[in-house]
Structure 1
Amino acid sequence: MRWHVSGGCTRVLVWTVLLTYCLGPLASAYEGNPRIGNPRINQIFSAYDRPDSPGCALAVLRGGHVIYQRGYGCANLEWNAPITPSTVFPLASISKQFTALAATLLAEQGHLSLDDDVRKYLPELPDYGTVITLRHLLQHTSGLRDVWYLGGWAGWRPDDLVTDDDVLHLAARQRGVNFRPGDRYLYNSTGYTLAGIVIRRVAGQSLRAYTDAHVFKPLGMNHTHFYDDHAAVVPNRAVAYTLIGGQWETAVPTFNTVGSTGVYTTVEDLALWDQNFYDRQVGGRQALDQMLRPGKLNSGETIHYGLGLVLDSYRGLKTVSHSGVDRGYRCEFLQFPTQHFSVIILGNLDRLQPYYMARRVADICLTSEFPRPADLVKANAVKPDGVQAGTPKPLPGTNPRPKANSHPKANPRPGAQRPPGAQQPLMSWAGTYWNLDTGASWTVSLRDSKLWVGRIELKTLGTNRFALGAYPIELIFSPATAGTPRKLTWLDVEPEIFDAVPPIKLTKAQEQAYVGTYWSDELNANYSLHLQDGKLAADGWRDDYGPLQPVIADGFSLRPPSLATAFIRFRRNRAKTVIGFTLSTEGCKNIYFARSANSDRR
């Protein structure tokens, strides 16, 4: 059984006219029956084009027209409801652009300035000694720790009901930031949740009410809203799923937070939003131009992010995009503004990879317009599951490893420098490399005279430079020098450095020195460190975090089964006694835990 969007002879005639007279070079991609669409596009989604599998809705747009839209798979496995273009999905982090537009509209109305100190509206936040502006929040340059990662280490679980106030209270407990505001770009969802609270306080109404009145209703997006009540009924909503042990399980978010996430919509409604970037019906030129303007760091360097939008390129063509991940939902919004061409994918399966699929659709439809070949992206590329032990397993609302899942690119951001390297034998690069900020690691092995990361072969690009299989990620190896270890530089959205450090082993007495109870005021949480089967292990108040793996002196990697990998550095006093530790992970650096005075130090 196959489910197709069909509107009878009239729709077929309309599509035929559009394809023949309006689409120019795109028409050749849609030869054949327009009711079925292009078989090459359908092939991208063929694994999900069945009634017993979750899948996605697709819309392809050109010149202000929807040239192809249909559903693949099932919206609700209990009721066998097929996915259609009118099926409702949560947008996850794609919601951020609507929050950014709301803030920009309030600025145009004179109710706030994007350069205001956020503490003007959120006095609950501590003074970090330097101003954090609303613009910092919207461009991910605030330096604030990511609350969804913080929440995981504080004991939040994916099925907990989390509210905007919970996010604000946890953010207000933080006594440090990851970096000085404006110094760096680091994607996180704290800023957009706080921005949503600012909008609510300034507008005197909920973010849902404000965007309904000023964005969604004026555009005719009648099936779109910020979902701020987890118990509310949403007609025609897709249920998200994950496959565990051969059985389908639901994977639906249970939170009331909006701003960083929360918009529910359809591909049909998003087609109206897409066209708004061209006709400027809502927001006008000033607001949308602000959203499409790359942010700037304190150094003057520009970043690949505007306000809620990723500003990048693909195969030599300019793109505007964003990805979304919430539990089992996966989404992609991809524009090629110069070509007036867009691909929208909204899915309800956690293994779906709409980022790659959307670009494969573009490969087909814009085939004659790309100046560069498609040599790095596969439509159904399998994520390197199990390759990196540090791959985060997200809590609700987070966009896990934004650089890997949201906006991967073949070239590093401006300012990212490739380290120098001299040609070395392949064997010299084999080994395990550690990120001493997050505890993540990669193991590089030599097999059949080739380098591998897990099951992925590294493709040679040049002197000590490799591509991670078909992924648009570059790896560069640097030899050891006096005082510095061998290094692996991972070039994705931002460069990430991994060090090859020799393995260390601790005696039982050395591990015993770390045993005790540790308290974090910032997380409002106790951790118990104890010996388990002769190895140091950690427990939180709700979860067993598992063993700590020694990496360097007083430095351990912690890899919980349901959280992002972290790196723990113990602190000692002048007497060399352990007095506490700092925990760093994705989006959160140097969270301090003090050792309790009555800890068992035997």
Structure 2
Amino acid sequence: MTDLDLLALRRRARRLLAPWDRPGSPGATLGLVRDGALVLQESAGEASLELGVPIGPGTSFRIASVSKQFTCAAILLLAREGRLSLEDDVRDRVPALAALGTRVSIDQMMRNASGLRDMLELMRLSGTDLSHPATPAQILAMAGRQRGLNFAPGTRFLYSNTGFMLLGRIVEQAAGAPLDAVLEQRIFAPLGMTRTRHTPLLRDVVPRLATGYLPDGAGFVRAQHGFPLGGEGGLVSCVEDLAIWDRNLATGLVGGDWLHAALTERAPFENGRLNIYARGLEVTEYRGLRTENHGGLWPGYRTCFLRAPGAGVTAIVIANHGGIDVHTLGHRLLDAALEGRPGLHPLPALPPKPSLDPLAGRWLEPETGATLEIEIAADGTPMANQHGQPFALAAGEDGRLHARRGIYPFALTVPEGDALLVETDAGSVTRYRRAGEGGAPPEGLAGTWRCEELDATWTVAPADDGLAVQVRGPVSASGPWQVLPVEGDCFRVLTPATLFQGWVDAKALRDAAGRLAGFAVTGSRVRGMRFTRAG
């Protein structure tokens, strides 16, 4: 790379950061690794709005789920030493879990193919959001109460923080030492990653740690989080240290060549389709190149770690602004670094806006009551929304529209009638139809309902012009949560949260006589939670 190439790349990076390059705004830092060298690091925005401290090369951030590959690396190192087997049943290692009626292996948890329900969503459904204090024991107890799975292990992919929290505990059990000590001694210290550490609690003092912020109208508020973090997302790090880790994946200083191969080895589901999620890294293709990547999301922090090893290029983006789309920034930085590379596939263009109009509206999967909202933005970008999490759709090389969102298999074609087919994990295809207009929640929904797996009670009562839910769980209470009709027995419950205004989909369960006997609730990472009438 010539000096002029680097100058042009820096200017491209500055343009990407321009929206946050102003006083009074949190921002982001970008890093680009090329052929083993950190050739670029540019930053914009402030690490502390209160103190007016700018983000710079020495700023650290919570990298959230980018931590997962390090937890997997620790598991793999211990397995190579014979301290555990990747085929061990999780219950043999964590007896606090209830019998699930089937084996869940360590390897399935590393691949997000375990079927374990996500603990963060379980806590939210029981009335405890990320901003509320919780203890490791309370989170483990929530996971331990589960008697069912989202699906049979090894058959599907669904992101589960529960699996990685348990993996962190298994590291500690097998190594006979705390997770932070294992990661420091086995990975960080040997590599010189001196500004990376496992930091589970908000109260811990971390030098030069950026404060996380969330947009609030025209300004910002400090992001609140009270949950302890384990193997699922407890690391604090920076661009320089993640560049060092990227170099280790290429050189094998820690772990040898086999470690990178093991972290990025894809495995088939039971139907033979390959899982895009390897072990703490998603392995897929972008513009004809193999990529290995992972994102991180925590209140006020977002991270994108994006490798294109065949091109010798890695893009790293970390933000302390909860509204920045680091996934898109990382790919735009990668585009800039790959510009002019022979054989690079062009970015497919979106169809013209009028041809996308049939996508707009609310779509319903009648069997479970799952809903999908799609709207077409003014610039012609289709925006999808599931459970309150909006994401853009981008044109794919296969002619379909794909989610522009990290680690989220989702592809659809523009419908020609009232049926919308969406392909997700393991090649599964879900058939949606247009939802009806108006209606009312199922008759008889008012009352008190109990979910034993959540140890929570939902009380549904009239509120304003409709119904609302008051939630009482084992840790805290929440509400009112508004109930909105969708169609027939299908309804939606709004679930306010620190990260976004979410919702869960629900469908009435009826007895043989057709009477309302309960309802099943489905969220983004929790499926089919059953509530029955209390008393």
TM tier, smaller:
0.7 to 0.9
- Residue 152 (structure 1) aligns with: 124
Cα deviations across residues 245-302 of structure 1 (Å, max 9, x unaligned)? 3232111433322111011011111111110011101111223211110122122321
Distance 1:274 1:446 in 2: 36
Alpha carbons 1:164, 1:193 under 8 Å: kept: no
Distance 1:458 1:103 in 2: 35
Alpha carbons 2:267, 2:274 under 8 Å: kept: yes
2:468 aligned partner, one-letter code: A
Percent of counterpart pairs with the same letter? 29
- Residue 30 (structure 1) aligns with: 6
Of the three residues 354, 366, 373, the one matched with 1:442 is 373
Secondary structure (helix, strand or coil) at the match of 1:325 reads strand
- Residue 551 (structure 1) aligns with: 486
- Residue 220 (structure 2) aligns with: 248
Distance 1:446 1:267 in 2: 33
- Write out aligned runs for 1:43-58 (5 A): 43-58=15-30
1:263 aligned partner, one-letter code: L
Task: After TM superposition, give the deviation of residue 441 of structure 1 in Å.
Answer: 2.9
Distance 1:71 1:553 in 2: 51
Q: TM-score by structure 1 length?
A: 0.78
Alpha carbons 2:120, 2:130 under 8 Å: kept: no
Distance 1:553 1:245 in 2: 36
- Residue 432 (structure 2) aligns with: 498
Of the three residues 139, 142, 146, the one matched with 1:167 is 139
Of the three residues 462, 465, 476, the one matched with 2:413 is 476
- Write out aligned runs for 1:110-509 (5 A): 110-369=82-341, 371-375=344-348, 431-436=361-366, 437=368, 439-443=370-374, 467=401, 475-478=412-415, 486-490=418-422, 497-503=431-437, 505-506=439-440
**Structure 1 residues 354 and 114, CA gap change in structure 2 (3 angstroms):** same
- Residue 532 (structure 2) aligns with: 594
Task: After TM superposition, give the deviation of residue 357 of structure 1 in Å.
Answer: 1.0
- Residue 565 (structure 1) aligns with: 503
2:363 aligned partner, one-letter code: Y
- In structure 1, runs of 5+ residues without a counterpart are 1-18, 21-26, 378-409, 411-423, 481-485, 598-602
**Structure 1 residues 538 and 168, CA gap change in structure 2 (3 angstroms):** same
Alpha carbons 1:440, 1:565 under 8 Å: kept: no
Cα deviations across residues 148-176 of structure 1 (Å, max 9, x unaligned)? 11110111122222333322210111111
- In structure 2, runs of 5+ residues without a counterpart are 385-389
Distance 1:89 1:351 in 2: 15
Which structure shows the higher strand fraction?
2
Task: After TM superposition, give the deviation of residue 443 of structure 1 in Å.
Answer: 4.9
**Structure 1 residues 524 and 73, CA gap change in structure 2 (3 angstroms):** same
Cα deviations across residues 5-28 of structure 1 (Å, max 9, x unaligned)? xxxxxxxxxxxxxx44xxxxxx65
Structure number with greater Rg is: 1
Distance 2:190 2:204 in 1: 23
Alpha carbons 1:427, 1:446 under 8 Å: kept: no
- Asked whether 1:73 is paired with 2:73, we answer no
Distance 2:393 2:258 in 1: 45
1:174 aligned partner, one-letter code: Q
When the two chains are superposed, the root-mean-square deviation of aligned CA atoms in Å is 3.2
- Residue 387 (structure 2) aligns with: none
**Structure 1 residues 477 and 357, CA gap change in structure 2 (3 angstroms):** closer
Distance 1:497 1:359 in 2: 30
Secondary structure (helix, strand or coil) at the match of 1:539 reads strand
1:488 aligned partner, one-letter code: L
- Higher deviation after alignment, 216-225 or 581-590: 581-590
- Asked whether 1:63 is paired with 2:35, we answer yes
Distance 2:334 2:447 in 1: 55
Task: After TM superposition, give the deviation of residue 193 of structure 1 in Å.
Answer: 0.6
**Structure 1 residues 166 and 283, CA gap change in structure 2 (3 angstroms):** farther
Alpha carbons 2:130, 2:224 under 8 Å: kept: no
1:204 aligned partner, one-letter code: G
**Structure 1 residues 496 and 223, CA gap change in structure 2 (3 angstroms):** farther
Alpha carbons 2:439, 2:488 under 8 Å: kept: no
**Structure 1 residues 155 and 134, CA gap change in structure 2 (3 angstroms):** same
Secondary structure (helix, strand or coil) at the match of 1:282 reads coil
Distance 1:365 1:194 in 2: 38
Cα deviations across residues 68-106 of structure 1 (Å, max 9, x unaligned)? 113211111111111112111111100000000000011
Alpha carbons 1:537, 1:548 under 8 Å: kept: yes
1:98 aligned partner, one-letter code: F
2:413 aligned partner, one-letter code: I
Cα deviations across residues 439-494 of structure 1 (Å, max 9, x unaligned)? 4332568999x99769999999999x7648999975424456xxxxx322345777
1:565 aligned partner, one-letter code: W
**Structure 1 residues 80 and 111, CA gap change in structure 2 (3 angstroms):** same
Q: TM-score by structure 2 length?
A: 0.88
Distance 1:469 1:133 in 2: 29
Secondary structure (helix, strand or coil) at the match of 1:338 reads helix
- Residue 538 (structure 1) aligns with: 469
